[in-house]
Structure 1
Amino acid sequence: MGGDVPGASRREWWGIWGIAGVAAVVYSVLSFVRVHSLKAGTYDLVIFDQAVRAYSDFRLPIAIVKGVHNDFGAGFSVLGDHWSPILALLAPLYWLHDGPETLLIAQSALLAAAAVPLWVFARRALGTGAAYAVAIAYTLSWPVAEAVAFDFHEAAFVPLLTAVMLERWQAGRKVAVVLAALALLCVKEDMGLLVAGFGLVLLTRAGWRVLGGGFVLSGVAFTGLASQVLIPAFGGRPDYYWAYGALGDGVSSAVRTIVTDPLTAFGLLGTPPVKLVTLLLLLGVSVLAALGSPLVLMAVPLLAERMLASSFPNWWVPEYHYNAFLVVVIFAAGVDAVRRFERLRKVWVAGIVVFALATVPFFALAQLGDPGSYRRDPRELAAARAVATVPDGALVEVANNLGPLLTGRARVLLLDRTPRWAPWVVVEVGRRVFPFKDAREQSERLDALVAAGYQIRFRQDAYVVLHRPGPDPKL
Structure 2
Amino acid sequence: MPEPSPDQSLRRGAGAPRAPRGLPEPGVGPSDARPARAGERPERRPAMGVAMAARERRAEGAPRERADEPGDDPRDHAAAGRPPASDAPPTERLGPRRERVVRRLVLALSALALGGFAYARFATFHNRTFDLAFYTRMAWGTSQLDLWDPFLETSVLGLHVSPVLVPLGALGHLFGTVPVLVFAQGAAFAGAAAALGRLGERRLGRAGWWLGALALLLHPNVAHVATYEVHPGSLAVWPLAAALERLDAGDRRGLLLACLGVLACREDLALVLLLVAPLAAWRGLGRRFALGLGLGALAWLLLFALVLHPRFAPAEGSFHLHFGPWGDTPGEALRTWLSEPGRVLAHLAQPRKASYLPRVLAPLALLPLLGGRWLLPAAPILAINLLSVFPTTPNLDSHYLTPALPVLVAALLVGLGDALRRWPRLRRPAFALLALALPAGFVLAGPSPFAAAYRPDARTDASEAIVEAIRALDAEAGAPHALQAPDPLLAHLAERPRIHRAPPPDRNADLVVLDVGHRDRYAHQETLLRTSEEPGVRAWQARTGWGVVAQRGPWLLLARGHEDRAPPDPAPREEGAQRLTGCLSITHATETARGLRLHLHAHGPCPADLALRLGEGRRPRRVDLLFGGRVSPAKLRAGERVVSEHPFDAQLPTAPGSLRVGALRSSGARPAHGDPTSVPVPLARAGGRSAP
Is the TM value for this pair above 0.5?
Answer: yes
How far did 1:330 drift?
A: 0.5
Between stretches 253-262 and 152-161, larger displacement belongs to: 253-262
Post-superposition Cα deviations, 1:178-203, rounded to whole Å, max 9, x if no partner, equal: 22223222322321210112123334
2:398 corresponds, among 307, 313, 320, to 320
Q: Which amino acid aligns with 1:48?
A: Y
Q: CA deviation at 1:217?
A: 4.8
Alignment of 1:196 onto 2:277: no
Q: Deviations over 1:317-365 (max 9, x none)?
A: 2222111101111111001111122333333333334323222244453
Rounded to whole Å, the distance in 1 between the matches of 2:273 and 2:165 is 19
Hey, what's the Cα distance between the residues in 2 that align with 1:424 and 1:239? 26
- The answer to whether the Cα contact below 8 Å between 1:123 and 1:131 also exists between their aligned partners in 2 is yes
1:385 paired with 2:465, answer yes
Per-residue deviation, residues 435-457 of structure 1 (Å, max 9, x unmatched): xxx99343322211211132222
SS at match of 2:393: helix
**For residues 444 and 361 of structure 1, do their structure 2 counterparts lie closer, same or farther at Cα, with a shift above 3 Å needed?**
farther
SS at 2:548 equivalent? strand
Distance in 2, matches of 1:50 and 1:155, equals: 17
CA offset digits 1:68-89 (Å, max 9, x no partner): xxxxx3xx33221122222223
Helix, strand or coil at the partner of 1:456: strand
Equivalent residues in 2 for 1:208-227 (5 A)?
Answer: 208-227=286-305
Aligned positions of 1:67-466 closer than 5 A = 67=152, 73=153, 76-236=154-314, 241=319, 243-244=322-323, 248-259=327-338, 262=341, 264-268=343-347, 270-293=348-371, 294-309=373-388, 311-340=389-418, 341=420, 342-366=424-448, 368-370=449-451, 372-390=452-470, 391=472, 392=474, 393-408=480-495, 411-431=498-518, 440-453=531-544, 454-466=546-558
Range 91-100 or range 251-260, more displaced:
251-260
Which deviates the most, 327-336 or 394-403? 394-403
Alpha-carbon RMSD across the aligned residues, in angstroms, is 3.0
On the 8 A contact 2:385/2:401 being kept in 1, the answer is: no
Structure 1 residue 280: Cα displacement: 1.4
* TM-score with structure 1 setting the length: 0.85
Is residue 2:146 matched to residue 1:60?
yes
| Larger relative contact order (CA 8 Å, sep ≥ 6) | 1
Amino acid at match of 2:534: S
**Structure 1: 5+ residue runs without aligned partners?**
68-72, 433-437, 471-475
Q: 1:440 to 1:406 in 2, by over 3 A?
A: farther
Q: Is residue 2:561 matched to residue 1:469? A: yes
Distance in 1 of aligned mates of 2:505 and 2:315: 22
Which residue identity is paired with 2:208? A
| Pair 175,99 (structure 1): closer, same or farther in 2 beyond 3 Å | closer
Q: Spell out, residue by residue over 1:207-259, the C-alpha distance to the aligned partner (whole angstroms, 9 max, x if none).
A: 44443444445444543332221223445579851544565554445445555
How far apart are the structure 1 equivalents of 2:294 and 2:534? 52
User: In 2, Cα distance between the equivalents of 1:127 and 1:247?
Assistant: 47
Counterpart AA for 2:505: T
* CA shift for structure 1 position 378: 1.9
Residues 253/322 of structure 1: CA separation in 2 closer, same or farther (3 Å cut): closer
Counterpart contact for 2:168–2:177, Cα < 8 Å: no
* Greater helix fraction, Structure 1 or Structure 2: 1
1:297 alignment partner AA: L
Partners of 1:130 and 1:416 lie apart in 2 by 52
Aligned-pair identity (%): 25
Give the AA of the match of 1:232: P
Q: Distance in 2 between matches of 1:237 and 1:196?
A: 29
Cα distance 1:374–1:223, how it changes in 2: closer, same or farther (>3 A)? closer
Does the 8 A contact of 1:49 with 1:407 survive in 2? yes
Deviation at 1:122, TM superposition (A): 0.5
CA contact (8 A) 2:323 2:387 kept: yes
| Contact kept in structure 1, 2:362 and 2:441, CA below 8 Å | no
Seen in structure 2, the aligned counterparts of structure 1 residues 442 and 99 have a Cα distance that, compared at 3 Å, is farther
More strand by share: 2
Q: Is the 8 A contact 1:41 1:403 kept in 2?
A: no
Aligned residues: 452
Q: 1:420 to 1:252 in 2, by over 3 A?
A: closer
Separation in 2, partners of 1:32, 1:175? 36
Give the partner amino acid of 1:400. D
Alpha-carbon distance between aligned partners in 1 of 2:215 and 2:447, rounded to the nearest angstrom: 13
Aligned partner of 2:146: which letter? Answer: L
1:14-33 maps to which residues of 2 (within 5 A)? 14-33=101-120
Partner of 2:652: none
Paired letter, 2:266: K
Amino acid at match of 1:349: F
Q: Which has the larger radius of gyration?
A: 2
TM-score (norm 2): 0.60
SS at match of 1:137: helix
What CA distance in whole angstroms lies between the structure 2 residues aligned with 1:373 and 1:41? 11
Structure 2, unaligned stretches of length 5 or more? Answer: 1-18, 28-48, 51-94, 475-479, 520-528, 563-692
- Sort the Cα spacing of 1:448 and 1:322 in 2 relative to 1 into closer, same or farther, 3 A: same
1:265 and 1:245 map into 2 onto residues whose CA distance is: 14
1:119–1:134 Cα contact (<8 Å) kept: yes
| Preserved contact between residue 232 and residue 238 of structure 1 (Cα < 8 Å) | no
Aligned counterpart, 1:473: none
